[in-house]
Every structure is written in C-alpha cells, then in structure tokens.
C-alpha cells in the first residue's frame, strides 16, 4: 500500500514592503505611534521599545512634537508614558525649537558659504541640521522659504518618465544592495537626480513607495507564473509552439529583475562579486537555459551574474 504524500503548501507571494512611511504629516506620525502602541500592548510605551517597531525616526518626532511626552499626548497615549510611571529611560531630550528667523538665517549663511545664489534640497540635507520638511511645514513649500531668505530654488532639469525613474532606482538599489537614500541619487551610478524624484512623486518616500508598487505589480506578470513548456511533443500531436507568454518575451521586466537580484542577495551567484563591495561590478540577469534554446523568462530560469561571468558563459550551459 503506497502512502500519498501531503500536498505542498502554496508558495507565498513575493511582496516587498518599505520600512518607512510614505509621508511624514502629523496625522501619519500619530497613526504610527498608535500602531506601535497596539503592537506593544502591555506596560509603558518606552522610547527604545518604540524604535524597535517604528517606521518613524526619533528626529522626525522631535521636530514635530518637541518631546516624547508631547508626542504621546497628541496621539492620545498619555497613559502609556513611562515618564509618568517613573520608568527610567522613558524620555527624549527636548529638541531645541528653531525659530523661523534662525531657519532663514541658516539658509542665507549656507548659500554664502557655498558661494551660491540658489540652494537645492540636497544642499540642505548635506550641510544643515534640519531638512526641507520644516520649510514645507512653516512656509508651505521650499521655494517660498528660499524666497523669504532672499534665495531661489535651483532649477529642475529634464523631466524623466516613470519608467526611467524606476529603472534608475533599480540600478542604484542594486548597487547598494538596499533601498537607496535620497542623497545617493545624486551620486554614481545614478543618472536621475534626487530632485527629479521629488518633482514627479512629491517626496522621496513616495518615490520609493511607487517603485515598490511597480515591482509588486510586475511580480504578478504571466511570465513569472506561467507553467513550464514541455520540450517533448505528445505522440500524435504537433510540437507545441512558443505561444506561452514566457516564451513570447525575451525581455526581463523591471519587477522580475528586482526579484532575481533580491533573491540572489544582489551579488553574482558564480563568483560572489557585488556592486556594494566593488564599484566596477555591474549585475545582469541571465537565463540559465538560454532563451534561444528554449529557456523561459521565469524566476526559476534566471539568476544574477556580473559582467565578466555572463560574458565568459556565452550562449551555452554551465558545466
């Protein structure tokens, strides 16, 4: 009597999630405080515990609410304050609340220091202790704040398409092996500046969220879910044509490329080289069974190779 094996569990769908908020409004930050409070449901909500679960940094909360106690009070969580319960380590130091005059003076001094009559957002983030969020909150936009300081906002360059922005972000993400930071979009290998993302998507975090949404949309593409094609024709029937969607396209979609790189830890699976340790390394997605020889454009037939390994392999199978 043969025993039947239990059916394999359904594979979990590939869904990539950001570990940050898409926007940093007061309402979004307060919602995040309440979310973490629900996760950590017992006892006081201590700072160190909050930071283990939160998608909001310490600095973001201090800039908006001044103290940890004030933030909890605004979220309706005063009863969870460790300071009120006498718990050590429950407070953050009160952040100095910079005045509007101090902000404008800092912008003017920075422009003088850099020898510029206009500033970019990256200039601020590289040299000042506060970012563009404070300008938007107090003056409505960075452009209005710069004008109040007697400066102008640096002009944006050409307008890029969504696909150009996403493709460039994939390059930078692969180069670092992690989600890129705002300032890194102004450095090689990026070819689309950070300001272009701000202009198109409204904020850097919204640009990251749009990229993740694009990747997850590609995850459900037919090329990734299509069944394998049999190379052996069934007796009495004509040989199967390449009508399967995974055979119709040799091109690998952006989402599928990201999924392969992510699975292979952003390094070459043959030699282990990675752009994060070797700036000259450029990863490519390779068909294990060449597409010209019937290989499918599907996740199980793709892998990450560096340029030299891919070039050396040619159009043949590995030994």
CATH code assigned at 294: 1.10.30
Instruction: Give the pLDDT score at 58.
Output: 74
Whether residue 215 is contained in a domain is answered as yes
pTM of the model: 0.54
Q: What is the mean pLDDT of residues 25-53?
A: 86
Same domain, 136 and 82: no
Same domain, 74 and 125: no
Q: How many helices (H) and strands (E) does the chain have?
A: 15, 4
Which has more pLDDT, 229 or 172? 172
Q: Which of 70, 96, 122 is the last residue of a domain?
A: 96
Q: Is 294 helix (H, G, I), strand (E, B) or coil?
A: coil
Whether residue 30 is contained in a domain is answered as yes
Same domain, 35 and 104: no
Which has more pLDDT, 151 or 11? 151
Instruction: Give the pLDDT score at 109.
Output: 85
Whether residue 179 is contained in a domain is answered as yes
Whether residue 5 is contained in a domain is answered as no
Instruction: Give the pLDDT score at 233.
Output: 40
Whether residue 278 is contained in a domain is answered as yes
**pLDDT tens-digit map of 77-125:** 888 876 544 444 444 433 346 788 888 888 888 888 888 777 776 677 6
Question: Residue 233 pairs with which residues in a beta bridge?
Answer: none
Whether residue 167 is contained in a domain is answered as yes
Assign residue 266 a region: left if phi > 0, alpha if psi is -120 to 50, beta otherwise? left
φ, ψ of residue 305 to 5 degrees: the values are -130, 145
Whether residue 225 is contained in a domain is answered as no
Q: Which of 96, 111, 135 is the last residue of a domain?
A: 96
Same domain, 168 and 208: yes
Q: Which domain holds residue 23?
A: 14-96
Whether residue 266 is contained in a domain is answered as yes
**pLDDT tens-digit map of 172-190:** 999 999 999 999 998 889 9
Per mean pLDDT, which of 57-66, 79-88, 156-165, 292-301 is the most reliable?
A: 292-301
Same domain, 105 and 123: yes
Q: What is the mean pLDDT of residues 273-289?
A: 93
Same domain, 268 and 299: yes
Give me the number of domains the chain comprises. 4
């Amino acid at each position: 009597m043969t025993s039947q094996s239990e059916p394999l569990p359904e594979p979990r769908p590939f869904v990539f999630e950001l570990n940050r908020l898409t926007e940093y409004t007061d309402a979004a930050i307060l919602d995040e405080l309440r979310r973490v409070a629900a996760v950590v449901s017992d006892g006081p909500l201590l700072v160190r515990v909050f930071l283990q679960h939160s998608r909001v940094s310490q600095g973001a909360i201090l800039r908006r609410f001044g103290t940890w106690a004030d933030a909890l009070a605004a979220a309706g969580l005063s009863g969870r304050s460790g300071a009120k319960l006498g718990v050590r380590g429950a407070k953050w130091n009160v952040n100095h609340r910079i005045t509007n005059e101090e902000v404008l003076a800092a912008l003017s001094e920075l422009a003088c220091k850099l020898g510029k009559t206009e500033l970019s957002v990256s200039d601020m983030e590289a040299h000042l202790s506060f970012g563009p969020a404070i300008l938007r909150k107090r003056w409505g936009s960075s452009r209005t704040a710069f004008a109040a300081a007697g400066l102008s906002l640096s002009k944006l360059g050409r307008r890029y398409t969504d696909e150009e922005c996403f493709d460039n972000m994939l390059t930078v993400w692969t180069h670092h092996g992690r989600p890129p930071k705002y300032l890194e979009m102004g450095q090689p290998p990026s070819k689309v500046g950070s300001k272009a993302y701000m202009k198109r998507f409204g904020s850097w975090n919204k640009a990251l969220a749009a990229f993740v949404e694009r990747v997850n949309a590609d995850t459900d593409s037919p090329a990734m879910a299509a069944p394998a094609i049999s190379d052996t024709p069934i007796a009495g029937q004509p040989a199967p044509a390449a009508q399967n969607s995974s055979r119709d396209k040799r091109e690998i979609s952006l989402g599928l490329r990201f999924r392969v790189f992510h699975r292979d830890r952003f390094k070459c699976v043959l030699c282990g080289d990675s752009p994060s340790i070797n700036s000259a390394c450029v990863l490519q997605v390779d068909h294990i069974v060449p597409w010209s020889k019937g290989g499918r454009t599907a996740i199980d037939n793709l892998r990450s190779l560096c340029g030299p390994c891919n070039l050396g392999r040619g159009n043949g199978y590995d030994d």
